[in-house]
Every structure is written in C-alpha cells, then in structure tokens.
C-alpha cells in the first residue's frame, strides 16, 4: 500500500505502518531527506483505521519537501519510533503521544512534554470533551 | 556681599508656634492607606502576549511610575501587587498559587487582560478559565490586550480602594 501524490509542491506518500522504518531510512540515506520537520496525527473518528500519523521531511540539499502518512487503528495505535534515525523525533513523538495517544515503539523517553503527569485522556482526539478540565490546583469555592 | 557673611535664618523662628509644622491629625487608616497606595510594588507574573502591553504601560509615555507602581520586584516576598499578565494554564496554576502564597500581607491581585480574567477564548483542556478560580482577585482589566489607559485606570481604581480601605495593624495572623 503505497500512494503518491503532490499537494502544494509537497510530495505526499502514504504507506503501511509496517513499512515505516524501511521507508524512512531509505528517504534519509538515499533521497537526502535529512530534516524531520514535524510529527503529528489526524483523528478521523468515523473512519477505520482511525488515525493518520503524519510526518514532514525536508531536504537541505535538494530543497524538496515530503509528507509521509500512515494509518493506524484505535485498537493498536502503534508505529515505530524514528528517534534512531532523527533526533528531532524525540520531542515531537512525545507530543504526538500525549495529544493523540499514538504509541511510538522504541521511544526512549515517552513522558508527557506539554501536559502534566496524571492527565487522563488525549486532548486532541475528537472524542475528548471540549470543555473538560483536569485542574492541578483545587478551585476556590 | 561676601558669602561668609550671609546670616543663617532658621526656617521657623524660635517661639513662633503658628509657623512651625509640628503635628497634624489624621485617621490611622487614612495615613496607612495613603502610604500604601503610593508604594505598590508589582510582581509581574507574565506568561503571554499581554507582556507587550505591560511593557508599554510601564515605560514612557504611559509610565506607571507616576502612580507609585514603578518598580517591579522579581521576588514575591518583596512585592504587594501581583499582576497576572497573560494566560494561566493548568500546568502553570500551582506556580501561580505558590507565588501568591509567598507574598506578604497586605497584597493585591490584578488580573491583566481577558485570559487572566476569564480564560479569554481558551475554553479548553489547557487553560484556567480565570485566575479567580485559584486566587482571590482585587481588580480585573478587560481587553485582549488591554489599552495602557485601561491599565492605568485599574491602578487608580485599586489605589482609591486601598486609600478607602481599613488597614488593621494587628491582623488575625499575628
């Protein structure tokens, strides 16, 4: 399952989650995409599999951009971590993990980065109640 | 005339009681309130973009120095006006509470801008919808960000409140 397209001068590549590490190491080593610019996810609540995990790459030698998407399901939202290939994945995967609940297999430090310890749920998922707060300080009466 | 020969005249001649400024009468609360309202030491708890407006209002041409609120103290123990400037997130809330608790009495809290007042447009998992859910607030400033005139108006209103307030020398704490 590999689809290619070009949207707004950004090449888009859709792959299966199992092909991720092989594809990305090919992009890095053979296609000179030496910069991982972002890691995020998209939640499609009615779709199966539910999540897109989206990566953006940039090449500082050929000046090309590439968007890599892979679909994972809610039951097992796991993809391989890209930390062994790109150091910048360290923080971005932590954020994606806490906001969408995507698990990155092999991530060395999956603590929350923007949220706090004890936060229940994943706030950027569509089914997180929009006004639900989890205060750390008890409110005044 | 030689400078040495200038006679030294006392400001109030000996025995002239009407010219001497020897005592005046006032109420204790008025005196203490007058002293306190002109010696506000703000602690700027600055978290977001309202900081730009805070800089604008503290420097020329607006200049909070004219109202005795000039010198920001970056230790809560030395300040008596907590200016909460910007959005307070739930992650930031314990820090704000700790800063507030470290301030000595008397202390006042100013919610600067829409976010500190009510959360502004951040009605979500991250932001506290108004710092008055955590600490008591004395004066709220609307605006996103507030105009400097609004801030000065708030300082003057707070000063008027301090001047008219009771200022007990002995409180319940000591």
What is the average pLDDT across A82-111?
A: 91
pLDDT digits (tens, 9 = 90+) for B7-36: 555 555 566 666 556 667 778 888 888 888
Q: Do B125 and A136 touch (CB under 8 A)?
A: no
> Rounded CA gap, B91 and B94, in Å?
7
Per-residue confidence (pLDDT) for residue B18, from 0 to 100? 61
- Sequence-separated (6 or more) residues with CB below 8 Å from residue B23: none
Name the CA dihedral angle for B159, B165, B167, B172, rounded to a multiple of 10 degrees: -120
> Cα Rg for chain B, rounded, in angstroms?
22
**Mean pLDDT for all residues in chain B:** 84
Per-residue confidence (pLDDT) for residue B71, from 0 to 100? 78
Q: B148-164 and B28-37 helices cross at what angle (nearest 10)?
A: 160
Per-residue confidence (pLDDT) for residue B13, from 0 to 100? 57
Per-residue confidence (pLDDT) for residue B61, from 0 to 100? 85
pLDDT digits (tens, 9 = 90+) for B109-148: 999 999 999 988 888 899 998 899 999 999 999 988 899 9
Residue A21's φ and ψ, nearest 5 degrees, are: -60, -40
pLDDT digits (tens, 9 = 90+) for A121-132: 899 999 999 888
CA distances from B42 to A2, A8, B12, B52, B133 (A): 60, 50, 40, 16, 21
Sequence spans of domains, chain A: 3-105
Per-residue confidence (pLDDT) for residue A91, from 0 to 100? 94
How much is the ipTM here? Answer: 0.80
Q: For residue B38, what are its two tokens?
A: 């002109």
What is the average pLDDT across B65-85?
A: 86
- pLDDT confidence of B67, banded at 50, 70, 90? confident
Distance in Å, alpha carbon of B116 to nearest chain A alpha carbon: 15
Instruction: List the single best residue of A137, A140, A141 to mutate versus B (max B Cβ within 10 A).
Output: A137
Q: Is pLDDT above 50 for B77?
A: yes
Residues of chain B with Cβ-Cβ distance to A114 below 8 Å are 91
> Rounded CA gap, B20 and B18, in Å?
6
Which of A99-108, B10-19, B74-83 shows the lowest per-residue confidence on average (mean pLDDT)?
A: B10-19
Chain A 93-122, residues with CB within 8 Å of chain B CB atoms:
114-116
What letter would DSSP give residue B3?
G
What is the average pLDDT across A56-64?
A: 91
Q: Do B93 and A140 touch (CB under 8 A)?
A: no
Domains annotated on chain B, with CATH? 36-164 (3.40.50.12280)
Distance in Å, alpha carbon of A19 to nearest chain B alpha carbon: 35
Asked whether the bond before A49 is cis by omega within 30 degrees of 0, the reply is yes
What letter would DSSP give residue B91?
T
Architecture category of domain A3-105 in CATH: 2-Layer Sandwich (3.30)
- pLDDT confidence of B2, banded at 50, 70, 90? low
| A6 or A133: which leads in pLDDT | A133
């Amino acid at each position: 399952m590999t689809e290619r397209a070009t949207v707004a001068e950004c090449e888009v590549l859709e792959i299966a989650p199992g092909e991720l590490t092989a594809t990305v190491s090919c992009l890095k080593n053979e296609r000179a995409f030496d910069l991982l610019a972002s890691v995020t996810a998209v939640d499609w609540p009615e779709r199966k599999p539910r999540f897109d995990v989206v990566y953006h790459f940039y090449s500082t030698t050929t000046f090309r951009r590439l968007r890599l998407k892979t679909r994972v399901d809610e039951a097992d939202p796991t993809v391989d971590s890209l930390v062994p290939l790109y150091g910048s994945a360290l923080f971005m995967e932590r954020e994606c993990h806490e906001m969408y609940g995507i698990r990155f297999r092999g991530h060395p430090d999956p603590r929350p980065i923007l949220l706090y310890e004890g936060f229940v749920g994943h706030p950027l998922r569509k089914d997180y109640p929009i006004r639900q707060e989890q205060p750390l300080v008890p409110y005044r009466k | 005339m030689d400078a040495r020969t200038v006679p030294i005249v006392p400001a109030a001649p000996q025995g002239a009681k009407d010219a001497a400024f020897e005592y005046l009468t006032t109420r204790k609360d008025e005196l203490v309130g007058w002293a306190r309202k002109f010696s506000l030491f703000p602690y700027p708890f600055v978290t977001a973009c309202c900081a730009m407006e805070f800089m604008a209002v503290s420097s020329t041409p607006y200049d909070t120095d004219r109202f005795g609120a000039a010198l920001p103290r970056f230790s809560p123990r030395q300040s008596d006006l907590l200016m909460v400037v910007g959005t307070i997130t739930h992650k930031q809330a314990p820090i704000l509470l700790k800063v507030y608790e470290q301030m000595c009495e008397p202390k006042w809290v100013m919610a600067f801008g829409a976010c500190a007042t009510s959360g502004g447009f951040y009605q979500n998992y991250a932001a506290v919808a108004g710092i008055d859910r955590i600490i008591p607030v004395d004066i709220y400033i609307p605006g996103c960000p507030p105009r400097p005139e609004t801030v000065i108006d708030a300082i003057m209103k707070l000063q008027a409140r301090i001047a008219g307030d009771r200022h007990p020398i002995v409180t319940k704490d000591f």
